[in-house]
Amino acid sequence: MHTENSIIGPLLTRCSKNDRGSQKQLFFSLHEFALRICYRYTSFQEDPEIPMYGSFVKLFQTIRQFNGSAEFDVWSDLKNWFKNILIDTCIESGKRQLPEVQNSSEWDTQLIPLIEEETFRPPSAKEILDEIRTLDFHCRVVFNLSVIDGFTYRDISSKLQIPNSAIEFKLRKAREELSKLFQPMSTIRSA
């Protein structure tokens, strides 16, 4: 860990001074990580590289604000800090593509059907990720923030500027849609 810190610290210092070679090195070090995050938060209609590149611009513009711990793993601290930039950029990008919500009726709750147990073939990780990408913007983002990234309802509410009841509804709706992957042969009945 100490060796990585001795390498990453000077690299970040050079990046904060707009050293293009260092920025390129950091870009290639974080590219795959960033693309995976953006892929989860974008739909099939969106190119995940667009918010990823925007996130790198924000990273390099704000890198002086990064305050990694010299005692711990600076690389992990940087990745966590950058992950928040990536998520926020994807959310901003997705919000720009949405029509404005006029009233709260969109956030009304619905009953979730109960699923009868039957034999099924578990979906692959790619099938699950592909299905997540088909969810509408709010369902996809709420699901990713809550289930995959472990954000609290309060954090999600703050990021998306929607009430907790909307988060619960969108999370329930996302889970309902995703549960279809696990029941291709199942019978659905109302609760």
| pLDDT, mean of each 10-residue run, the chain (191 residues) | 68 93 96 94 87 95 82 85 94 80 47 49 82 91 94 93 93 91 56 47
For residues 68 and 73, give the distance between their C-alpha atoms in angstroms, rounded to a whole number: 8
Residue extents of the structural domains in the chain: 2-96, 114-184
Q: 114-184 — its CATH code?
A: 1.10.10.10
pLDDT of residue 87: 94
pLDDT of residue 186: 45
pTM above 0.75, yes or no: no
Q: 2-96 — its CATH code?
A: 1.10.1740.10
For residues 175 and 147, give the distance between their C-alpha atoms in angstroms, rounded to a whole number: 10
Half-sphere exposure at residue 188, Cβ-oriented, CA atoms within 13 angstroms: 11
pLDDT of residue 107: 45
For residues 122 and 125, give the distance between their C-alpha atoms in angstroms, rounded to a whole number: 9
In the chain, what are the helix, strand and coil shares in percent, each to the nearest 5? Answer: 70, 0, 30
Buried b (16+ CB within 10 A) or exposed e, 163-187: eeebbebbbbbbeebbeebeeeebe
- Which residue's entry shows tokens 């992957």? 181
Answer for the pair 35, 49: CB distance below 8 angstroms, yes or no.
yes
pLDDT of residue 169: 95
